[in-house]
Structure 1
Amino acid sequence: MGESGIGARVQRVEDRRFITGKGNYTDDINRPGQLHAHFVRSPHAHARIRSVGIAEAQAAPGVVAVYTGNDLRKFVPTSDDLEESPIGDLICGWLIHSKNGEPMKAGSHPAIARDTVRHVGDQVAVVIAETKRQARDAAELVEVDYEVLDAVADPLKARASGAPQVHDVATGNLVYEWELGDKAKTDEAFRNAHHVTKLNIVNNRLVPNAMEPRAAIGDYDPGTGVFTLYVTSQNPHVARLVLSAFVGIAPENKLRVIAPDVGGGFGSKIFIYAEEVVCLWAARRLARPVKWNADRSEAFLTDAHGRDHVTDAELAMDEKGKILGLRVHTTANMGAYLSTFASAVPTYLYATLLSGQYDIPAIHAEVDAVYTHTAPVDAYRGAGRPEATFVVERLVEVAAREMGIDPASFRKRNFVKKFPHQTPVIMSYDIGDYAASLNKALELIDYKGVGKRKREALKRGKLLGVGLSAYIEACGIAPSKAVGSLGAGVGLWESAEVRVNPVGTVEVLTGSHSHGQGHETTFAQLVCDRLGIPLDQVSIVHGDTDKVQFGMGTYGSRSGAVGMSAISKALDKVVAKAKKVASHLLEAAEADIEFKDGKFTVAGTDKSLDWSAVSLGAYVAHGFPSDEIEPGLKEGAFYDPVNFTFPAGCHVCECEIDLETGKTEVVNWVAVDDFGVIINPMIVEGQVHGGIAQGVGQALLEGCVYDEAGQLVTGSFNDYAMPRADDLPNFQVDVTVTPCPSNPLGIKGCGEAGAIAAPAALVNAITDALGHEDITMPATPQRVWRALQKSKMPAAAE
């Protein structure tokens, strides 16, 4: 593998600029003549806009313009018989149909509200001024006359008769009633069951809270008619597509989107947001660049939130503890509008993983997606898979307890053992060894010694619990044919271009995008491994639609399995072309040219040329047979995989609960994951650590709460608790490896595993300690202390 190739523990090359303050983020960019935008946001969850008074704000110092929703109109040639039409609404790009065949009810989502606001923080107007402070101050002078209406924030109450309506098009606030699986077969399995486990599960709403808040700069060049958007985005090409084809800002060839360094995304920066639309539109209107960046309070109010499911779930078993069937009904809170990919999260990213690692003969899932007067909900790290894993792993754990079977043994009894395995819910698992991950995790946690540790903890006034989470996820979100059949509005392939310079250095242009994953290192490692050149001779270029060919961005742990596979495919073409060049330079048959460790050799001889010599020869091009070899060395590729990838593994959490305070301390954590082939173990371990931290945050600390009037109660870090270093133990991270057969590199993906596995592992540990299941996330000290009062204390504690 070499010192910097596949499998090497290479330090991230991009980190030097990040930790020394040399990064280039959207807020670091300033354009000549730039103005600043500040949005006037609704303080009400639901209200009609009677009028918006802007005169006083327009007269304020430094103010250049104040716009309302009715001002956002397209530009057309001046003509008496042509009127400017409104720019398009924001869209949801994944069409879901209800079980009766009707398409989902997508309510209107204007960039600035025109007549009705539907959640606290909804945009009502924008003030644009010479400075950020002037824009903020003037925004206080905008007078909005609201007719306040009743609101509903709870998704179950939103379905009740007489509940306030979020969108007229969605009667009863129902976006869709969707189902997956075989209802008749599942019902039959339950009728034949020896034991049925039932749970009501709440998957709490989360606020993403990336380190870098969202930002945007809209710029317009009147000489060329080109718009440029600098933005904190995980997929700049899709942003350009939506802004052009659906919102109607500009033709695609007149719109450039640049996503520079991005300080964390976790899904919340996949989407197209209102502020980006307004900044671009206003830049054209004012002929000056317009910049906006969110403060943390705006992020809490307007960034797409995650999770927020309420689920009734049942698991049917025979007398030996073999699972016969799974039945699930989920109410998914979509918020006030359908965000860009929101409709797919509680359907095809959730229900298709309800088989978990288990051989379940019959599954039936029903999902009701519901509008409420809250911020939109969309993909957040894991996107549907954490919700599915939490349902499955809580059910499996409780079923084992109720049947008096050790939870680890229960899982082994029901694991899928033969591959490929077709689940009842679309997915076909290609390969895996679930027992291997579980067995290694049990060994690392010293599962046999749990009883002894429980007794020792009790002497210290603690209840010790151990919880397992055997998760599986579908990553490498693709293939295009599959997602197209499920309602996706785009293909989910990836693109790459490999440019070899005359001196042999290499530039890789990728449609993937990095926002903390270390692509500039891992992608370069692949090139080094294949071409035999040093890491510092490879540059990774991404995030600019004028430099990089169309690509689909980064989310769903697809960068390695799909993005790197596209690079691998382009490298194959580069090496093939380089062999032609080498055969000409070495005066040998192409079939006799061998390439290894950066050297081209004529088989059976000592005649050779190194990589840089062949690269130069490709551009010098002296004497090339024109009908066989073109000058230069540059190749591109598009890669569309044949299947999803299926990372899987087992996480085991050991926690202690203080009997007096209810505080839960995570004292040990073991993660054994199967990510297929690993490019850089150090980066993978970091991804696992970060994912677990977010999962622990959801299980113990984080919970986004709205009151009955739709006011955000947890609107700052004073009220919304993020995990800190002392909330987490040192993690024991290990792997098993079954190379993925559906891509050329054998990669499965690692970015979301920790966030998927962790909540179930921790809640299973807490309930093991408590001796009952009556606890919901986040398991705060107050909730755990109350749950302790319902526990039957072991004799030694009395």
Structure 2
Amino acid sequence: MTGTTAGKGTGKPIERVEDERLLRGLGTYVDDLAMPGTLHAYFVRSVHANARITSIDVEQARRLRGVHAVWTGHDLGELNGPLPLLGPHPDLIAPRTQLPLAVDRVRYVGEAIVMVIADSRYRAEDAAELVEIHYEPLPAVVEFTDADRGMVHDDIADNVAAVVNQSRGDVDTALASAPHKLTLDLEIERSGGMPMEGRGVHAEWDRRTRRLHVSDSTQSHVAIRQGLSRILDLPLDQLEVVAPDVGGGFGTKIMLFYPEEVLVPLAAMRLEATVAWTEDRYEHFISANQERGQVHRATVGYDDDGKLLAVRTAFVHDTGAYIPYGIAVPAVTGTHLPGQYHVPNYEFTGQIVYTNKPPVSPYRGAGRPQGVFVMERLISAMAKSLGLEPSEVRCRNFIADDAFPYDTGLDLHDGSRAIYDSGRYAEGFQLAMRHADLTAFRARQKQHRSEGRFTGIGSATYVEGTGVGPYEGCTAALNPNGRIVVDVSVPSQGQGHATTFAQLAADVLHCDPANVVVRATSGGAGAVGHGTFGSRAAVMAGNAVAAAATNLRRQILATAAEFFECSAEDLSIDDGFVQVTGTGARLSLADLATGVNPIRYPAVPETSTPWTGASAPPIALAATEYFCNRQWVFGFGAHVAEVEVDIATGKTTLLNYVVVHDCGRVLNPLVVEGQVLGGLVQGIGGALLELFAFDATGQPTTTSFLNFRLPTIDDLPPLVLDEMQTPSPWNPLGIKGTGEAGIIPVAAAIAEAIEDALEPLGVSVARMPMTPERMRHLIATTTTQQKES
């Protein structure tokens, strides 16, 4: 960048510009949009996990004063067809997606059957109580082993939706010849996101312009717009979709589509009105998508030194009643399971089965926590069998620094190859272990055991595939007031986009980040993209922002060169001014932007001449650019947990925790730290507290925060957070994503720490979450088994 001064944006711990507005309660969420006259929707949902609907009577509800419409699936006509299948894949055997409103059959408690639209939410709920639905209950398929009890879909006898399988090397031969082998049965149960703001949709139909405006608490409003246009048969130029402030997403709000996201806009169109729906917490527990839910049988072969020779896992993945995201989650599990270790021979086979539970779609981590849990449990078991520290076995198996790019031999679910771009895995793990000080802990542990205390230490490492494509766009423009406006298509749910993207643009344009305004567009104008998910926003949109800002900078310098009658090479931009090197002559960006407007001109020196002819500048200074990646980029991290287990109550307390993460070039350390810490907190919940439980009939037994406990500040231990920066060579900024990183290895690290703490009792941890009740049961069962043997 000839003629420029040092950038002022990226790499600095600038506080998030979004925070003050949100913390003062000045955010605007979907539920804030309803004005007097807005109609409100409510949904009558199934009370059975598996049942035939024999009759639906809505007449009394329709007669209730203040009710504008009561719809069943039959009232929707052709629009009540199966919702989209995301990511069709050859491995799908029998894909099934949900109807907006169930007609003849319900397949999980919470499935929508009837939509009520009334003057108020209260009136809509009153009308819903008047709806009479008669069912013929059927046996519920709840556990993986319940396939012989019944069928979730009548035409799928074995309830199998898909089978995924990949391998590299010769696993059979390697296992047969391995000096050591062991097999573990492992399970991670269902969990899911709990955003502060539930799902919500607000739709307004303008009868004069025939335009539909939708506000959706979603992570991908541009994709919602594209999909709604097709489903509702409404041209894109008549449809606008925005994501206002979104109070958390965590993958729960990346579903395309939930029934409500189609039905509320449809109601606005049909009734020519404004219609709103906001999910209450009970609805979230029974009808929002969930995740995790896998059972693995994993076998590892290794030599006398603890070097990995082969790994094979066969697992069952619970996809719930439908499979809206195809094979995404189980495929990510399988392709990420070997992770940062060199496993010369590897095979995974995942059977994806339907159950009578809410559908599965990616939740923060998206299949990676399951894979890391399995791999790190194998590493722990190997170490125990050889009498080694697990940390030593890990170090002996990391991919070497000089092995990059490292081809895993596996294909990701989007068809691209899983090739690791860069990394320093051993160095990162050793840094974490130095912070943890294993030698000092073992001395403390010895003292604790003499006091009757059960303390332990565990570690885990991971790689995270980030920067999911295929593209993301950005428009950067210079306003006449001198401010830079950056339009992107990735909405924020707490990721700090308004801060980080402003830093990127400021770095290119050499201005104060406070002079950059970042907006998430509606997708109706300017650059478009896909959304905020899969740790992709910084990689994809960040590089698009840098490219658009670079293009805008070229335009600014070219235009100013016309003004000053000099070469663009003689100009620089600094603090809102374009200046001529060595002369002191300068022009503000505001005056420059005004000057390109054909009806207004700034005050100019007498020596200047008007812009004329072919060299005339554009009417507006704006640039649109796209970034398209060819490969995912892979971040890395290492966690170390120190715990104490109370064997009387079963409670596990975290005493200390260490995190080392590597997400390539860091744009804003504070934002990255917030993402990592947020993921860590969710990981603690997933490891020790959070569980979606169901009884034998498929009824959810965790339907409020009374029995689905989230971690609080009291659950957080003293924390050491450190970073490394190994840039990716596969994008101009060297960025790797980190949005999901913090959650990925937590259950694995805590499981190893619990097992280490309870080593005197012979306890093995094979399942997560390890709630206090389960811990007591595990200790009692192990003790009984030891006595009997």
What band does the TM-score fall into relative to the shorter chain? over 0.9
Distance 1:305 1:515, change over 3 A: same
SS at match of 2:88: coil
- Give CA-to-partner distance per residue, 1:70-118, whole Å, 9 cap, x none: 1113xxxxxxxxxxx34432112111223xxxx4312252100011111
Output the amino acid matched with 1:748: K
Q: Quick check: 123-132 or 541-550, which moved more?
A: 541-550
Q: Which residue of 1 aligns with 2:58?
A: 54
Residues 574-607 of structure 1: per-residue CA shift (max 9 Å, x gap): 1111111122122212344344665545456555
1:475 aligns to what?
Answer: 466
- Between the aligned partners of 2:524 and 2:232, the Cα distance in structure 1 is 19
Structure 2 matches for 1:534-545, cutoff 5 A? 534-545=512-523
In the alignment, structure 1 residue 125 sits paired with structure 2 residue 110:
no
Written as runs of structure 1 = structure 2, the 5 A alignment for 1:286-365 is: 286-339=271-324, 341-347=325-331, 349-365=332-348
For the residue of structure 1 that corresponds to 2:626, the secondary structure is strand
The yes-or-no answer on 1:627 pairing with 2:624 is: no
**Matches of 1:569 and 1:538, distance apart in 2:** 15
What is the CA distance between 1:625 and its match in structure 2?
A: 4.3
Equivalent residues of 1:72, 1:281 under 8 A apart: no
C-alpha deviations, 1:523-573, integer Å up to 9, x for none? 111122222222332111115233553220100111111111101110110
Match of 2:741 among 753, 756, 765: 753
Matches within 5 A, 1:13-92: 13-31=17-35, 33-73=37-77, 85-92=78-85
Is 1:355–1:425's contact at 8 Å kept on the other side of the alignment? no
Pairwise mapping of residues 700-739 of structure 1 onto structure 2 (< 5 A)?
Answer: 700-739=688-727
C-alpha contact (below 8 Å) 1:461/1:659 kept by paired residues: no
Give aligned-pair identity as a percent.
37
| Superposed counterparts of 1:603-682, under 5 Å | 606-619=584-597, 623-628=610-615, 629-682=617-670
> What secondary structure is seen at the aligned counterpart in 1 of 2:261?
helix
Give 1:788 shift.
Answer: 3.1
Counterparts in 2 of 1:177-216, with a 5 A limit? 177-182=163-168, 185-216=170-201
1:526 aligns with 2:504: yes
Q: How many residues align?
A: 758
Residue pair 1:26, 1:216 contacting (<8 A) in 2 also? yes
1:561 matches 2:539: yes
Task: Evaluate the alpha carbon distance shift between residue 228 and residue 291 of structure 1 in structure 2; reply closer, same or farther with a 3 A threshold.
Answer: same
Letter in 1 for 2:610: G
Determine whether 1:367 maps to 2:354. Answer: no
- Structure 1 residue 4: deviation in Å? 6.1
**1:449-464 correspondence to structure 2 within 5 Å:** 449-464=440-455
Match of 1:242 among 212, 227, 231: 227
Question: Once structures 1 and 2 are overlaid, which stretch shifts more, 206-215 or 58-67?
Answer: 58-67
Matched residue, 1:386: 369
Structure-1 separation of matches of 2:618 and 2:561: 14
Which residue is equivalent to 1:786?
Answer: 777
Q: Give CA deviations for 1:664-701 in whole Å, capped at 9, x if unaligned.
A: 10010000000111111112111111101111101100
- Contact 2:7-2:508 within 8 A present in 1 as well: no
TM-score of the two chains, using structure 1 as the length reference: 0.92
Correspondence for 2:751 among 742, 763, 776: 763
- AA paired with 1:265? G
> Pick from 261, 265, 277: which aligns with 2:245?
261
Indicate if the aligned counterparts of 2:526 and 2:624 stay in contact, CA closer than 8 A. no
1:190-227 Cα shifts (integer Å, max 9, x gaps): 11211123111111100311110111122222222222
Deviations along 1:127-157, one digit per CA (max 9) or x if unpaired, are 1111110110110110011111111111232
Q: Give the aligned partner of residue 419 of structure 1.
A: 404
Query: In the alignment, is the contact (CA less than 8 A) between 1:470 and 1:651 conserved in 2?
Result: yes
Are the equivalent residues in 1 in contact too, given 2:95–2:326 (CA < 8 A)? no
SS of equivalent residue, structure 2 residue 358: coil
Once the two structures are superposed, residues 686-724 of structure 1 have per-residue CA deviations (whole angstroms, 9 ceiling, x without a partner) of: 111110111110110011111121110111111111111
The alpha-carbon distance between structure 1 residues 508 and 789, as it changes in their structure 2 partners (threshold 3 A), is same
For residues 94 and 531 of structure 2, the distance between their equivalents in structure 1, rounded to whole angstroms, comes to 27
Q: CA deviation at 1:187?
A: 1.4
2:152–2:354: 8 Å Cα contact kept in structure 1? Answer: yes
Is contact 1:624-1:630 (8 Å) kept? no
User: CA distance change for structure 1 residues 228 and 555 in 2, over 3 Å: closer, same or farther?
Assistant: same
1:642-677 CA-to-partner distances (Å, cap 9, x unmatched) read 321111011100001123322110010000000111
Mapped partners of 1:2, 1:44: distance in 2: 64
CA contact (8 A) 1:468 1:761 kept: yes
The residue type equivalent to 2:38 in the other structure is Q
With the length of structure 2 as denominator, give the TM-score of the two structures. 0.93
Aligned to 2:136: 147
Structure 1 unmatched ranges of 5 or more: 74-84, 479-491, 794-798
Amino acid at match of 2:369: P
- Using the TM superposition, give the Cα deviation of residue 276 of structure 1 relative to its aligned residue in structure 2, in angstroms: 1.6
- Is the 2:338–2:375 Cα contact (8 Å) retained in structure 1? yes
- Alpha carbons 2:641, 2:753 under 8 Å: kept: yes
Change (3 A) 1:624 1:32: farther
Among 357, 381, 387, the alignment partner of 1:404 is 387
Aligned partner of 1:483 in structure 2 is: none
Is the alpha carbon distance of 1:686 and 1:507 closer, same or farther for their aligned partners in structure 2, counting shifts above 3 Å?
A: same
CA distance in 2, matches of 1:119, 1:548: 41
Is the 8 Å Cα contact of residues 358 and 414 (structure 1) preserved in structure 2? Answer: yes
Cα distance, 1:447 vs structure 2: 1.4
Moved more, 299-308 or 51-60: 51-60
**Residues 700 and 568 (structure 1 numbering): CA distance in 2 closer, same or farther, change over 3 Å?**
same
Amino acid at match of 2:778: A
Distance 2:97 2:16 in 1: 44
Contact kept in structure 2, 1:496 and 1:638, CA below 8 Å: yes
Provide the rounded CA distance (Å) in 2 between the counterparts of 1:294 and 1:380: 18
CA contact (8 A) 2:220 2:491 kept: yes
1:578 is aligned to 556
Please say if 1:217 is aligned against 2:202: yes
Structure 1 SS opposite 2:684: helix
C-alpha RMSD of matched pairs (Å): 2.0
Contact 2:94/2:162, CA 8 A, preserved across alignment: yes
Native 8 Å contact 1:322 1:413 kept in 2: yes
Instruction: State the alpha-carbon separation in 2 of the partners of residues 320 and 580 from structure 1.
Output: 64
Map of 1:111 onto structure 2: 100
Is the Cα–Cα contact under 8 Å of residues 186 and 766 in structure 2 kept in the other structure? no
Give 2:604's aligned residue. Answer: none
Q: Following TM superposition, by how much is the alpha carbon of 1:342 offset from its aligned partner in structure 2, in angstroms?
A: 4.5
Residues in 1 aligned to 2:585 and 2:267: alpha-carbon distance in whole angstroms? 63
Separation (CA, whole Å) in 2 of partners of 1:91 and 1:693: 33
